[in-house]
Structure 1
């Protein structure tokens, strides 16, 4: 016979979820890193995020999180706040013009549980078209366990469907067609040369010229191409900067890009080769062991320029 007895109340744990994937322009729930946001004051917000202990593309290496997780987290923060805090309708398109970050290597160490991150964000230089922003700058301090993880800043344009179609001419009004006509991916460089474990994750193709590569675009990649787009995504371009930084080293060590400063000049298109040139430079002051400059051109026009600092995490 069953007998009901009184049991002590069990405290209910605080419940955590991710933000809606539509807010961060992602198709896969597994790729949403943001867990919430709240407004602190006018144009001042806190966004919370969680990084997995490992990831299919942004993998933890030698016990450290990948700094490009920070980049993707910032990228997701832009559409979240644009839509949720500033009321920009869905269907508007965002385009980065400048992105910069600097990370504390020691704070990247992976723990026994996922990493909980707070992003303290101040928005400025807001231009409006009627009542919604048309461009914005965000300055970000990323905090982990009450310690500074990274600082970042980014500027983005915000384009209505009508403006975006005008900017993109015959590309933005038929994204499935443009996406579907992207050429097959070119031959990758050896994955170990660019700090990768799998050929499918390589975004550079060798050329006869030293320190020059063709951008390799594989639209079947499930992370870099989470959904159809009409141009090469910015996160793929940041990955090209990282991989070129690795490839410039004669013998890549346990290095990771702890600094990037990238200026985007043009959209990178699918239908013509994009050439990536790398040059060794002095490392950024006090934040890296080795520096590199990366220049990208398509159809003889600069499409982005970047500087990066690579840090050996062996002693971090």
Structure 2
């Protein structure tokens, strides 16, 4: 399945070499994750993608697997966490940029926007992990003399032939030298992250453990400080010089749950069904980030919340989250 372009002494692909070895030849096709470096993860356990192939210049097929249990993307009332679909679509962009558009490992990525919509009826946990087929189409590809500079792509995620999620993202990638110039003193100052702040009640944001809470109270009903725990093994899977976008998306989810739980008499579990995010600039580790949430008009049976973040008085990101109540 893999077509990762890597110089080898033969013309065999990595997958064919593994599956064609004498010790494994009797087992047929075997499944493994893609290299963790290609999806910007340090832990193999956090890699969700298992293979890929190119169907055309801008069309690809990717396979993935969602584990039945995850230490952070925990099930929501017997359903897969929709943010696992978000992380899957994020990993798609990194994988294809490196494996099919020849972006060297070590280049930096800036995510401009990321969105996902899920179909709850196909999110249910079953007796085995969910095997996924992902159809990816690139609608924009930016090239410079130095190579691939960024892209926009769309993904359709199928489970047993049913569309379980759709989404897409846009990113820019830059070389280490360019990133050094862009980030400047942020990379050389060595300033420590801000002090870890206290979490809000885990139950108020749909979490079980305080270590997974990314909001700190400010004494206001719809406003919080972002809680940045750089020791978190999933949200901060490896050392970074800024707050990852997935932390901001988790903050948007938690803020949505907090405001909807507070304003509704219905305490059924809330499942985000659509999340649309826009990132204006890097979120720095050494300065407090503040978030606020507001309910917006929504369709029947749905709630819609706008979450916005700012840092140093400047807009940082925004996210609109659609959610529905699950039956208890």
Do these two structures clear the TM 0.5 threshold for a shared fold by scoring above it? Answer: yes
* Contact 2:194–2:288 (Cα < 8 Å) also in 1: no
- Paired residue secondary structure (1:235): helix
- Of 46, 49, 54, the residue aligned with 1:31 is 46
CA RMSD, 1 decimal: 1.7
> Equivalent residue for 1:305?
318
> Equivalent residue for 2:97?
82
- Of 199, 203, 220, the residue aligned with 2:210 is 199
- Paired residue secondary structure (1:16): coil
Q: Deviation at 1:84?
A: 0.4
* Contact 1:105–1:313 (Cα < 8 Å) also in 2: no
Q: Structure 2: give runs of 5+ residues left out of the alignment.
A: 1-25
Deviations 1:147-169 (CA, angstroms, capped at 9, x unpaired): 11111011001111121112211
> Equivalent residue for 1:291?
304
Q: Deviation at 1:171?
A: 2.0
Distance in 2 (alpha carbons) for counterparts of 1:120 and 1:61: 26
Q: Deviation at 1:123?
A: 1.0
Q: Deviation at 1:71?
A: 0.9
Q: Structure 1: give runs of 5+ residues left out of the alignment.
A: 1-10
* Contact 1:259–1:308 (Cα < 8 Å) also in 2: yes
> Equivalent residue for 1:7?
none
Q: TM-score, normalised by structure 1?
A: 0.91
Distance in 2 (alpha carbons) for counterparts of 1:186 and 1:51: 32
Runs of 4+ in 1 over 6 A off after TM superposition: none
Q: Deviation at 1:13?
A: 4.8
- Of 229, 235, 238, the residue aligned with 2:246 is 235
Distance in 2 (alpha carbons) for counterparts of 1:120 and 1:58: 23
> Equivalent residue for 1:4?
none
* Contact 2:199–2:217 (Cα < 8 Å) also in 1: yes
- Residue-pair matches, total: 300
- Of 62, 86, 91, the residue aligned with 1:71 is 86
Q: Deviation at 1:74?
A: 1.1
Distance in 1 (alpha carbons) for counterparts of 2:276 and 2:169: 10
Distance in 2 (alpha carbons) for counterparts of 1:216 and 1:28: 23
- The answer to whether 1:16 aligns with 2:31 is yes
Distance in 2 (alpha carbons) for counterparts of 1:302 and 1:55: 32
- Of 263, 268, 281, the residue aligned with 1:253 is 268
- Paired residue secondary structure (1:248): helix
* Contact 1:164–1:172 (Cα < 8 Å) also in 2: no
Q: Deviation at 1:131?
A: 4.8
Distance in 2 (alpha carbons) for counterparts of 1:257 and 1:167: 34
Q: Deviation at 1:76?
A: 1.1
Distance in 2 (alpha carbons) for counterparts of 1:186 and 1:126: 41
Distance in 1 (alpha carbons) for counterparts of 2:198 and 2:212: 12
- The answer to whether 1:40 aligns with 2:55 is yes
Deviations 1:58-110 (CA, angstroms, capped at 9, x unpaired): 01122100000011111111111001000011111111111111110111111
Distance in 1 (alpha carbons) for counterparts of 2:239 and 2:184: 17
- The answer to whether 1:188 aligns with 2:199 is yes
- Of 112, 117, 120, the residue aligned with 2:135 is 120
